[in-house]
Amino acid sequence: MGIFSRRIVKRLLEENSRFLPNDKLNLHVNHLNGVSPMQRLTTEWEIAVLNGLHKLGVEPRFEPRFEGGTSVPDVLVSYRNIEALIDITTASDRGLDGENPFRLLSDELIRKVRERGLDPNKFGLRVEGNWRQLHLGGPKPRLFIPQPAGFDSAVFDGQFVQFLDQVAASGRKASFRPCSDPNAALWITHDPAQQFFTGSHLDYTVTFTGNRNPVYNRLDAKASQLKKAGFNGAKGIVLCDAGCSLLSKNGRPGLDLGPNEVISGFLDSEAQIDFILLLRVKSDSSGLFGPEHLKIVCEMFVPSVKRYYLDPLIDRLQGLAQQLPSPENTPINAYGTEDEGKSFSGGGTMTGQKIKMSARAVLGVLSGRTKQEDFVRENEPFVKAFERMVVEGRRLADAKIGHVPERDDDWIEFDFSEADPAVGPFKRMGTE
Amino acid sequence: MMKQLRGELPAQGRMLADAMIERVRERDDDWIEFTFSDVDSAAAPFERMRNQ
């Protein structure tokens, strides 16, 4: 899965093939087909932004080279004789997740519990962090958790095995605190009344320092590259959200920082960067997913002293979000490792004698790629509706595919007949 | 036929493009006919591109 549906990405690639060179196009294709979810996400954004700039009418020149330059930025744009050199980048929590491998430890705990024949839903994991030391301008939040190479020695040691034995024997409420590693502060709990696995930890993505966070790091890296391009005009960065928590929350005044403070602070400290255009996926807060509930929003950051001479170009670039397609997922949900389009499985409608459901799900079960029990679980109301049609002695009267060109599934609609003697009892007859 | 539905066509990255019921009036079953799409990027790796 990605931010955009695969059919949209394909359309963008085709449109981009009119103005991008083959090597760039195929680098994009290779990254999209690659195994790294992060690289796929970054490439999707780059494809979409290059496409949007082309439609925006800012005369983009891709990968321009300048005399004396030692780096090649993404694009040079021009509008009403104002030029700006732009690099596209993404920010994510990947580095922070690596420093604080809570998810990996949870996965490993669940695996070990399941291996012992116990129900992981009855277990919980709580990891402490350095919350007492945190303040604006202070250290980064950090969990007291070992790195994955140390999980076995620091957490899943002999005492952990004894803890599981005790739980298996008694089935009662119990907790375990590993003590092999003095830098680890975590608790594993068992509660037979619990319905789901629970995990809790300090939010290590909260930002307390302007220049030690994923957004600043990416901007700083891109600024260094832009400065080496040998271009003396305006320079800007398009920053896209690839699953960075900092970009989706506001700072609490006096307590921590939000994207506005970090980006404005970066521009204040970096005179050679003239503007930053932030692109994020915003949800309508309905709690529902899909393109109708998500949109891309754009925020421009430009110091007021520079706005005066860059104004027409800045105004134009602010329209970039309108040139981008609707997203299919939020970046955080786009991180799945599976490289498949999103199915409508479980969705659809049942009205009268019609059943409309995911064509992909139907194909999955007919092809044997989806286990029948998985199909039934995900599509239970439809399976029951089919059953009702069969019990009522109806047969399939019509079937059609409703193609959805900008998403990665289609609808299949089944229309059932009136009761048919081929599959039901004969009805009583009267003389006509 | 079933072999195609069970593996080859979905494995090639094809999706259902059309479906229709062929009524057989004097017998007790009908046929359902599926037509598959060309390789669809929704279900297949992206293909190499050429500048147009």
Q: What is the pLDDT of residues A273-318, one digit of tens each?
A: 999 999 999 988 787 767 888 999 999 999 988 888 898 999 999 9
Instruction: Centre a 10 Å sphere on the Cβ of residue A348 and count the other Cβ atoms it contains.
Output: 19
Q: Which amino acid is at A100?
A: N
Question: Is any Cβ of chain A less than 8 angstroms from the Cβ of B20?
Answer: yes
CB contact under 8 A, B10 and A367: yes
Q: What is the pLDDT of residues A153-197, one digit of tens each?
A: 999 999 999 999 999 999 999 999 988 777 889 999 999 999 999
Q: For residue B30, is it within any domain?
A: yes
Q: Which ipTM score applies to this complex? A: 0.88
Q: What is the pLDDT of residues A333-371, one digit of tens each?
A: 887 656 678 899 999 999 999 999 999 999 999 999 999
With CA atoms as reference, the chain B residue closest to A421 would be B28
Q: How far apart are CA A23 and CA A159, in angstroms?
A: 56
Q: For residue B10, is it within any domain?
A: yes
Q: How far apart are CA A96 and CA A240, in angstroms?
A: 17
Q: For residue B23, is it within any domain?
A: yes
* Whether the Cβ atoms of residue A1 and residue A330 lie closer than 8 Å to each other: no
Of A9, A407, A412, the CB nearest to B19: A412
DSSP calls for A292-313: GGEEEEEEEE--HHHHHHHHHH
Domain residue spans of chain A: 6-93+207-335, 95-201, 348-416
Of B17, B21, B41, the CB nearest to A399: B21
Domain that holds residue B17: 2-39
Q: What is the pLDDT of residues B34-49, one digit of tens each?
A: 999 999 999 999 988 8
β-strand A82-91 against A234-241: which pairing, if any?
parallel
* Whether the Cβ atoms of residue A328 and residue A407 lie closer than 8 Å to each other: yes
Quote the distance between the C-alpha of residue A105 and its chain's center.
Answer: 21
Instruction: List CB contacts (< 8 A) between B46 and chain A.
Output: 6, 9-10, 13, 29, 32-33
Of residues A169 and A35, the one with the higher pLDDT is A169
Q: How far apart are CA A51 and CA A45, in angstroms?
A: 10
Q: For residue B51, is it within any domain?
A: no
User: What's the pLDDT score for residue A336?
Assistant: 65
Q: Mean pLDDT score of chain A, rounded to an integer?
A: 93
Phi/psi of residue B42, each to 5°? -65, -25
Alpha helices in A318-409 (DSSP H): 359-366, 372-378, 380-391
Q: Is the pLDDT of residue A125 over 90?
A: yes
Q: How far apart are CA B46 and CA A33, in angstroms?
A: 7
pLDDT above 90: percentage of residues in chain A: 83
Phi/psi of residue A401, each to 5°? -100, 130
Of B9, B32, B47, the CB nearest to A399: B32
Name residues whose C-beta falls within 8 Å of residue A149's C-beta, 6 or more positions apart in sequence.
none
**Closest residue by Cα to residue A206 from A267, A251, A262:** A251
User: What's the pLDDT score for residue B25?
Assistant: 87
With CA atoms as reference, the chain B residue closest to A342 would be B42
Q: How far apart are CA A127 and CA A323, in angstroms?
A: 43
Residues, chain A, total?
432
When scoring A4, A5, A6, A338 by the number of chain B Cβ atoms within 10 A, the one with the most, hence best to mutate, is A6
Q: What is the pLDDT of residues A378-431, one digit of tens each?
A: 999 999 999 999 999 999 999 999 999 999 999 999 999 988 887 777 878 777
> How does DSSP classify residue A429?
-
Phi/psi of residue A91, each to 5°? -125, 140
Q: How confident is the model at residue A99 (pLDDT cuts 50, 70, 90)?
A: very high
**Closest residue by Cα to residue A236 from A305, A306, A321:** A306
Of B10, B21, B29, the CB nearest to A369: B10
Instruction: List CB contacts (< 8 A) between A33 and chain B.
Output: 45-46
Q: What is the pLDDT of residues A200-251, one digit of tens each?
A: 999 999 999 999 999 999 999 999 999 999 999 999 999 999 999 999 888 8
> How does DSSP classify residue A236?
E
Q: How confident is the model at residue B7 (pLDDT cuts 50, 70, 90)?
A: low
CB contact under 8 A, B15 and A10: no
